[in-house]
Amino acid sequence: MNGLICAQFLHTVMLPAWLHTWSLSLQLHLQQWEETAAQQGKLSAQCPALQHNVRLHESPGNQILQGTNFSMTPVQHSNTEEEDHSLPLGEPGAQQCHVQRYPAQKVPFCCSARYNLAGMALFGFFMVYALRVNLSVALVDMINSTSSALENTSAKICPVHNNITPAVQHNSTGKKYNFEPDMQGWILASFFYGYILTQIPGGYLAGKIGGKRLLGIGIFCTSALTLLTPLAADLGAGYLIAVRVIEGFGEGVAYPAMHAMWSQWAPPLERSRLVSLTFAGAELGTVVSLPLSGLICYYIDWSYVFYIFGAIGVLWFIMWLFIVSDAPHLHKSISDSEKQYILSALQNQLSQQKTVPVCAIIKSMPLWAIVVAHFSHNWTFHTLLTLLPTYMKDILRFNAKENGFLSALPYFGCWVCMNITGLLADYMREKRNYSTVVVRKIFNTLGMIGPAVFLVAAGYIGCDYKLAVAFLTLSTTIGGFSVSGYNINHLDIAPSYAGLLLGITNTFATIPGMVGPVIAKRITHENTVEQWQVVFYIAAAINVFGAIFFLIFASGTVQHWAVTQKKEDEE
């Protein structure tokens, strides 16, 4: 009772009036602490795992009492932050002891091994997208414009801009090819025909051999083949398509491998910021690659786009091999405190199953919510990623140098948005006590409905190139919210199988990259503003559908099949 007497004395004698409310709260918490102390002793005898750094859950109805080293919270059977293991005590209706260990203190992120991994992964995904999108800009300069009738059609609709400042003479020494519009669509889409085939195998292999080697080898192979792209184009469209398909094989393992690594490295309350920081590298790669490719095409030669980025990718691979590790316990220079912090935070979220619960995964509606959202988001993303430079040139009439910079502008906005929303999502969970599922649904809805609105708006403004660039930039920027929505949700519902689940969802989400450019090229065969409006409207409608589906069926808790141990999967 000493604590109660001390608090009463402070309240009546020493504390000013503005601390009145706080003092009452302190009394209540101290009283609750004393009331639960005896219960803790009883439960400790029945629940041996209970220690001073454990979160103890009682039956529903108790108030939350946050202590320095442990907390006692009511059991929440839906929308809880994490789904803990339960130990039934006594007869039916008795209390349950839910144990989840938490470290007493978080380890600072500065100079930590997990943020070093995030930094290297950021540059890895920088290369993933730099190697992927450079062809979108280079292809504009590779095509012999006199062989296409499209430019005459678009010239009658949107006028060429009057350049205010004189530009350096465009270098036109690079080889030109007579690829027809349909063939251009197949060239742009061919990457995804290889990409889709290694998604699920990549997720499975990442769980078996680790994501480090898989991601590194994938980017190295893509970089090496990028160096051969000019030679392939010289040999013919078929060879160029073949090289792009094989590049897709290499990059197809990237996202599943990275999710498998984060399942071992990312504490639950840091997932949003770590994963957002990593995948923001993809947007950064797009931001840098598009304008830089435009400058290289304009001042040097389109072939150097592939030589420069291919060489950088090989250098990154060498650094990756020596700096990162698959898991904290394999890292050579990680501090003991950081290792214990990560392992303690994840210990009740990882499965001990040796077999994959295939049937349970297939029947999981939260997984299908991610599939639909991923597919819908990628329809818009890949449509703009592969065709925005073409739209900028043929409709808005920008030259190669302007094209690269303006095509990159939307992805710069998305990169900024992803980094901010990752921090905001973790803040809402950790400081404002929002449940995981609420945070995921809020961010996913904003990240899919917002882009749809601005895509529709972009379809209405015709040749007003300033508004067109503004609306497309806003559309892609707001899409960055979805990274803290569906894109992280794999780690929420099944950390142990996050790589495999991402492989599954990304398999479906690759389909838009395969068929989207081909469909868009067919729709825009005359290259009119009205035809491009149809492309934007289709993408917007698919986005809205994906947002609604995720809003209804998504979950934020670890699924039972992801943590329970079974002898065999259901046959």
Q: What is the pLDDT of residue 562?
A: 87
Q: For 74-96, b where at least 16 C-beta lie within 10 A, e where not — what string?
A: ebeeeebbbbbeeeeeeeeeebb
Q: One-letter amino acid identity for 68? A: T
Q: What is the pLDDT of residue 428?
A: 94
Residue 227 has pLDDT above 60, yes or no: yes
Higher pLDDT, 402 or 245: 245
Q: What is the pLDDT of residue 105?
A: 54
Residues in CB range of 358: below 8 A, 6 or more apart: 569
Q: In terms of C-beta density within 10 A (0-12 exposed, 13-18 middle, 19 or more buried), how is residue 304 classed?
A: middle
Sheet containing strand 65-66, edge to edge, reads 65-66, 71-74, 54-58, 96-101, 85-88
C-alpha separations of 370 from 349, 415, 516, 566 in Å: 19, 21, 20, 25
Q: How far apart are CA 42 and CA 3, in angstroms?
A: 22
Residues in CB range of 266: below 8 A, 6 or more apart: 114, 274, 275, 491
pLDDT band of 229, cuts 50, 70, 90: very high
Q: For 476-509, b where at least 16 C-beta lie within 10 A, e where not — what string?
A: bbbbbbbbbbbbbbbbbbbbbbbbbbbbbbbbbb
CA atoms within 13 A on the CB side of 425: 37
| Residue found by looking up tokens 């392939």 in the block | 232
DSSP letters spanning 511-531 = HHHHHHHHHHHHHTTT--HHH
Q: What is the pLDDT of residue 102?
A: 42
203 touches 502 (CB < 8 A): yes
pLDDT in tens, 265-276: 998 889 889 998
C-alpha separations of 216 from 124, 236, 251, 489 in Å: 8, 30, 10, 24
pLDDT in tens, 303-362: 999 999 999 999 999 999 999 999 998 998 899 999 999 988 887 766 666 688 899 999
Q: How far apart are CA 75 and CA 210, in angstroms?
A: 35
CA atoms within 13 A on the CB side of 255: 29
Instruction: Provide the Cα torsion 272, 273, 275, 280; round to 10°.
Output: 120
Residue 54 has pLDDT above 50, yes or no: no
Q: What is the pLDDT of residue 564?
A: 63
Let me know how many helices (H) and strands (E) the chain has, helices first.
21, 5
Q: Which of 55-64, 81-90, 247-256, 332-341 has the highest mean pLDDT?
A: 247-256
pLDDT in tens, 90-147: 333 334 444 444 443 556 656 789 999 999 999 999 999 999 988 988 998 898 765 5
Q: What is the pLDDT of residue 79?
A: 38
In this prediction, what percent of the chain has a pLDDT beyond 90? 43
pLDDT in tens, 179-204: 888 888 889 889 988 999 999 999 98
Q: How far apart are CA 142 and CA 301, in angstroms?
A: 10
222 touches 313 (CB < 8 A): yes
Distance between alpha carbon 250 and the CA centroid of its chain, in Å?
Answer: 19
Residues in CB range of 190: below 8 A, 6 or more apart: 240, 241, 242, 244, 245, 248
211 touches 261 (CB < 8 A): yes
* Joined tokens for residue 502: 């991402």
Q: How far apart are CA 178 and CA 236, in angstroms?
A: 10
79 touches 557 (CB < 8 A): yes
465 touches 158 (CB < 8 A): yes
Q: For each of the domains in the chain, give its residue range(s) and CATH number, in order of start.
A: 2-101 (no CATH), 113-562 (1.20.1250.20)
Alpha helices in 395-528 (DSSP H): 400-430, 436-460, 465-478, 489-493, 498-523
Map residue 16 onto helix, strand or coil: coil
- Residue 442 has φ and ψ, to the nearest 5°, of -60, -50
Q: Of the candidates 565, 82, 98, 507, which has an alpha carbon nearest to the alpha carbon of residue 360?
A: 565
287 touches 411 (CB < 8 A): yes
Q: Of the candidates 184, 137, 141, 138, which has an alpha carbon nearest to the alpha carbon of residue 521?
A: 184
Q: What is the mean pLDDT of residues 273-283?
A: 91
Q: How far apart are CA 557 and CA 563, in angstroms?
A: 11
The pTM is what?
Answer: 0.69
Q: What is the mean pLDDT of residues 238-243?
A: 96
Angle, CA 279 vertex, CA 559 and CA 414 arms, to 5°: 115
211-227 vs 303-323: helix crossing angle, rounded to 10: 160
First to last CA, the chain: 59
